[in-house]
Amino acid sequence: MKKFIIISAPSGAGKTSIVRSVLKKVPQLAFSISATTRKKRENEINGKDYFFLTLEEFKKKISEGAFLEWEEVYKDCFYGTLKSEVQRISNKGKTVIFDLDVVGGLKLKKKFIKQSLSIFIMPPSTDILTSRLKSRGTETKETLKMRVHIAKKEMLSKDKFDKVILNEDFSLACKKAKELITNFINLKK
Ligand code: 5GP
């Protein structure tokens, strides 16, 4: 049976760093590269971090039915999971790990209820989340405000996930994530 790992968290909770760490330690996993219309950040690589698309290209893919799920996570900012990514990873015999917003994460969990492990990464507090987002230096005043607002809303959904990991101590959070994921992959179902 194909298995899926769904990781969701508010922006700035440290989800991407935890996913990267787990990917290094669990060789059975492969990351599903999402498509987005968001602007590429300086340190990001097209085709590695995301497939960066124009709004037009994204909408074309929606109409072609190319997405397993997609969301307008922020106003005018679309993100989506490509069916072709899941296929590419499954063809390699690997387990797919998704990094999704809360709505997308819960959508996929519903779709693959028995096959998936969904994990919510919880920041220690809204203040810490805000200062992490600020220190990342990727947001304007407006986008920072919007991300914090959405983060607060997303945290209310944490109990809908199979597991919650508090990211207070980064290495402990990575250890916990690795443990949960390895156990789930090794479970005979
Ligand atoms: P960021 O702009 O910080 O890379 O991502 C913003 C939000 O979009 C994060 O919560 C991230 O998990 C989410 N995201 C990334 N890819 C996808 C996707 O394919 N689908 C959905 N629904 N959300 C995504």
State in Å: Cα 138 to ligand 1 middle.
15
Q: Does the CB atom of residue 37 touch ligand 1 within 6 A?
A: no
Q: Does the CB atom of residue 29 touch ligand 1 within 6 A?
A: no
Q: What is the pTM of this model?
A: 0.93
Q: Does the CB atom of residue 34 touch ligand 1 within 6 A?
A: yes
Residues 11 and 133: their CA atoms lie apart, in Å, by 8
Task: For residues 127-143, give the mean pLDDT.
Answer: 89
pLDDT, tens digit (0-9, with 9 covering 90-100), for 45-54: 999 999 999 9
CA dihedral 149, 152, 154, 155 (to 10 degrees): 170
Q: Is the model more confident about 13 or about 156?
A: 156
pLDDT at 189: 60
Pocket test of ligand 1: the residue of 79, 139, 149, 167 to mutate, having most ligand atoms within 8 Å of its CB, is: 79
Q: Does the CB atom of residue 118 touch ligand 1 within 6 A?
A: no
Q: Does the CB atom of residue 12 touch ligand 1 within 6 A?
A: no
Q: Specify whether the backbone of 47 is left (phi greater than 0), alpha (psi in -120 to 50) or beta.
A: left
Give every CB contact of residue 20 below 8 A, 6+ residues apart in sequence. Answer: none
DSSP string, 92-146: TTPEEEEEE-HHHHHHHHHHTTTTEEEEEEEPS-HHHHHHHHHHHT---HHHHHH
pLDDT at 14: 86
Task: Tell which atom from ligand 1 comes closest to the C-alpha of 32.
Answer: 19
Task: Tell which atom from ligand 1 comes closest to the C-alpha of 102.
Answer: 10
pLDDT, tens digit (0-9, with 9 covering 90-100), for 67-118: 999 999 988 899 999 999 999 999 999 999 999 999 999 999 999 998 999 9
Query: Which residue, 67, 8, 5, is CA-closest to 37?
Result: 67
In terms of C-beta density within 10 A (0-12 exposed, 13-18 middle, 19 or more buried), how is residue 112 classed?
Answer: middle
Question: At CA 138, angle to CA 142 and CA 157, rounded to 5?
Answer: 70
Q: Does the CB atom of residue 14 touch ligand 1 within 6 A?
A: no
Residues 13 and 123: their CA atoms lie apart, in Å, by 5
